[in-house]
Chain A
Amino acid sequence: MPLTPQEILKLSPDDASAKAAKGLVLPAKWPQLHHDDQAVWGECQGSGSKPYQVQVDRAGPTFRCSCPSRKFPCKHGLALLLLRAQHPDSFSVAEQPAWVSEWLESRRKRDEKQAAKATAETPAEGEAAATKPPADPAAAARREVARLKQMEAGLAELERWLGDRLRQGLAQLPAQPELWEALATRMVDAKLPGIAYRLRRIGGWVNRGEHWASRVLGGLGQLQILIDAFRRLDTLSVPVQADLRNALGVTVDRETVLKSGERILDDWLVLGQCVEEESRLWTRRVWLRGDQSGRMALVLDHAHGVRRFEQNYVTSTRLEMTLAFYPGNAPLRAIPINESRARERTPPANAPPLDRALDTLASTLAMNPWQWPQPLLYSGAIPYRNGKNWALETASRQLLPLTASDDSGWVLLAESGGGPLTVFGEWDGETLRPLSAWTDDLIWTEEAQPA
């Protein structure tokens, strides 16, 4: 299923790359343009004497280019796909040259290796033990104890701080904006990045909206509950402990998840995705839903300094692959174990009505109240302009407020024609940030936020 030019440009890391790529859609600049079932490749005349070697693995798609750009995918890779979409006559079928076949081969091998490592648990462990310097279990335990001590001290400080807020009264908060960042920094030092993240979020609610004090108090109250839970960590079930660790910001490493995480092979539909940037840290959330399992999954990736994500996802495509889930009481975050080749375009089947979607959300939150945002997929959503804001309404007039730009709102309204859409988005407890929408087909995905 070929991608449209607009879908290709959505893979671009920024507007500048998209614009530069459009400027390279010029067959005359490409002395070589070839393709086969697996890949598309070509040579692009750059400013140097030697042309760049540009290649795209159709699965994914995944890009590689010999240019020195740190952007990923670079303008050449995007331009190559745009050329393929807009000037198919300029391409000829050819045998893969070595620089293409070797790359594809190395990717395939790496995939196999990862899958093998993940499946064969015991030998893999043996292998790891053989390659890595032997870990000193006693040292690891000492480190763990030290870390727990630090966290304990940090949480004690947090508890005092919370008490102070209550004694002085929430009405003081609008005059003390610096409080939040100061404590958040100390929480990071105390190995509690999860608490720091929550504090900054709650700080952002102060003085916003009519019921800000309830929101803030609720948020502070949940911090108290995290403190309470940490002090009784040992009495909690293993999955709840995992959720709690995650909420505090203790990460489970990738290898452990690949090795021992719950594994589900399914046809995963890409429901939606978004990328956010904060002080040069890019976070990408890709939301998936399993056809047979009915499970939701979140593939979370970070990129520092440069927005670079190895694997690309196209919304509303179905991928046959195995996911390994992070531990938890309502597991959501997952890592794809192998890359999938199947690329079928399809809308989500049997999206529930809003009532049922909210019921599911309630049981998920009952199992793990710490995960935000939550995925929300439902059918029967009619876009609706509510004064200056956008909302989705059901036939029985239930209103869900949206966090959406005006441009998005108008396209959703235009596509709906007043009829129901199936919508997927991220729910933050108060508003839905829509990421994709369908009628019979995918009709809209969120535009990248201007940087």
Chain B
Amino acid sequence: MNPLHDLATQALLGSERRPPVLTPLPGAVDDLLDAASPSETALEIRVLRRAGVLAACADAGYVPAAGGAEPPPLCEAESLLAATDPQWRAALVEIFQDGPDLLQREALRQLAEYGAVLPPKILPLALTAASKTPALQALLRPVLGQRGRWLARFNPDWAYALSGDDAELDFSLWERGTLEARKAFLRQLRRRDPAAARTTLETALTELDARERLTLLEQLSVNLDASDEDFLENRLTDRGKEVRGLVANLLARLPDSRHVARMIARLAPCLRQERKLLRQHWVIEPPSAFGADWKADAIEETRAKSESLGERAWWLYQIARALPLAWWSERLALSPAELIGWAKKSDWSEALLRAWHDALTRERNPVWAAAFLGETKLPGLTVDPFALIDHLPPAERESYWLRLLNKSARRSGVGEWLGRISQSGTPCSAEFARQVLQHVRATVASDAGKWDYSLRQALPDFICLMPVALLDETLQHWPVEPEAQYFSETLARLIAIAERRKTLYRPPTSRNPS
């Protein structure tokens, strides 16, 4: 036993109650202690001297513990280039400490583009960032390199880095995981083997509550096709109202499904042609009674209290929204814009417009999106123009955004406007970026800019979406007017982000010998 431990154990109770017994120590220490403590020395002082000497000896004679476990295995040598040159490394540190998200994505993409991997120093930051933002994971995997995969083994939070798309799926996550884990599992399985995922879900259905059914059924939207139809048909009568709605919506995504055919059969009788001023006109009239077999297709007979539609319009809306948009164009031989015009004049405009908007959200049809955007007023319907613009091909979005900006004409909403654009993550053209920044500069110099905090938040993201070649031109010569002092910190951040982006477009080299 360690003599100091022994002494301490004896000293716990106190010398008044139990005087410690000083057993002789081996070697020179004992001689020293004897010499230092003549026989008349108080016991307490003897104990203290002994402890002091032993502690000093223990300090000087420290022996490291023998390691219990195997040391970590040596990481294999990297065959790819590690971006360890000082500029890249400094930029990557800033990017992963400071964001923004878009820049992290760009950095990972650019590294992959150059066939390079992250330098070791950045790996913990990047692995942690991606464990919190799963969208980064697929981008991170290719640039982890040997070192990154080696490192990820030591931290359970980073396990995602090792389970690539081809890795074995961990079935225990499905059996014992949280809802979130089960969802992720099902989604991955669905990507690889849609039928197996469906069967897995089907077997488990009876033990799931409504919320779980809703969350997990939603994952079938990945790789949805006709082979899912029978399963979904059976779920149309689910006990949960929300679940039934979800299932109906999934079936509506299969234009040839029996569900869609039944809905078409219900809607067709509502349409008829009338002759008016020598021309044929289409007229729509909602069903007058709730059909006996409708419930089986997840059509709800009664409305919610907050529903603005009347009873018959409510039925019409539910039927109409299940139909593919193409069906309407074909049946009525009208373009989307003409259809919207026709609906607006009808008595049932709200039901029709809402139904089509639902279908548009499902189908992401750019022609219909443009048609909706072309309308200034849509009765009974509030549309989010930014969501509609996102359905358009990227090249067409900018002109619509500018139109929104000019329409508002106020400077106050610029931050919110820019925030929505940045959110879409669409890289923008040089011309668009120039116009936006011109507008921002004018706003910053005005009072409106001062109070527009969202502008200062949106700009860093926007800088990430601008063409790299434009960065110098637009930012370097931005004057800092005395009245725009409040903006200088933001501007410094924008310039810093621009510099980091420029670094990302220079091929990285391995560490410079310093």
Contacts and interface: CB of A to CB of B under 8 A. Distances in A.
Contacts of A45: 480
A186 interface: no
B167 interface: no
Given A168-B14, A172-B14, A398 B64 contact: yes
Contacts of A170: 8, 11-12, 14
A414 B48 contact: no
Contacts of A217: 4, 7-8, 11, 47, 51, 55
Contact of A414 (B50, B59, B121, B477): B121
A218 B151 contact: no
B49 A221 contact: yes
Interface string A402-432: 0000010011011101110000000001000
A-side interface size class: 35 or more
Contacts of B489: 23
Interface string A1-29: 10011100000000000000011111111
B74 A25 contact: no
Nearest to B148: A414
Nearest to B128: A410
B65 interface: yes
A416 to B, nearest CB: 8
Contacts of A435: none
Interface residues of B, number: 74
Given A22-B492, A28-B478, A228 B59 contact: no
B119 to A, nearest CB: 9
A26 B495 CA distance: 7
B44 interface: yes
Contacts of A1: 514
Contact of B8 (A214, A225, A385): A214
Interface string B115-159: 000001101100000000000000000000001001100110000
Contacts of A25: 492, 495-496
B53 interface: yes
B393 interface: no
B71 A218 contact: no
Given A224-B52, A366-B60, A5 B90 contact: yes
B44 A171 contact: no
A342 B342 CA distance: 83
Interface stretch (A159-167, A248-256, A279-287, A299-307): A159-167
A411 B124 contact: yes
Interface in B308-356: none
Contacts of B150: 417-418
Contact of B54 (A171, A218, A383, A410): A218
Interface stretch (A64-72, A95-103, A234-242, A357-365): A357-365
B488 A400 contact: no
Contacts of A228: 36, 49
Interface in B50-83: 50-56, 58-69, 71-75
A299 B9 CA distance: 40
A410 B65 CA distance: 22
A47 interface: yes
A369 B60 contact: yes
Given A213-B9, A222-B52, A224-B52, A418 B74 contact: yes
B199 interface: no
Contact of B66 (A213, A385, A397): A397
Interface of B: 2, 4-5, 7-9, 11-17, 36, 42-45, 47-56, 58-69, 71-75, 86, 90, 93-94, 120-121, 123-124, 147, 150-151, 154-155, 476-480, 485, 488-489, 491-493, 495-496, 499, 511, 514
Given A213-B11, A415-B120, 17 more contacts: A5-B94, A28-B478, A166-B11, A170-B8, A214-B2, A221-B48, A222-B55, A224-B51, A369-B59, A410-B124, A410-B155, A413-B72, A413-B151, A413-B154, A417-B75, A418-B72, A418-B73
Top 8 A-B pairs, shortest CB-CB distance? A169-B14, A218-B55, A221-B52, A221-B51, A23-B489, A417-B75, A397-B67, A224-B48
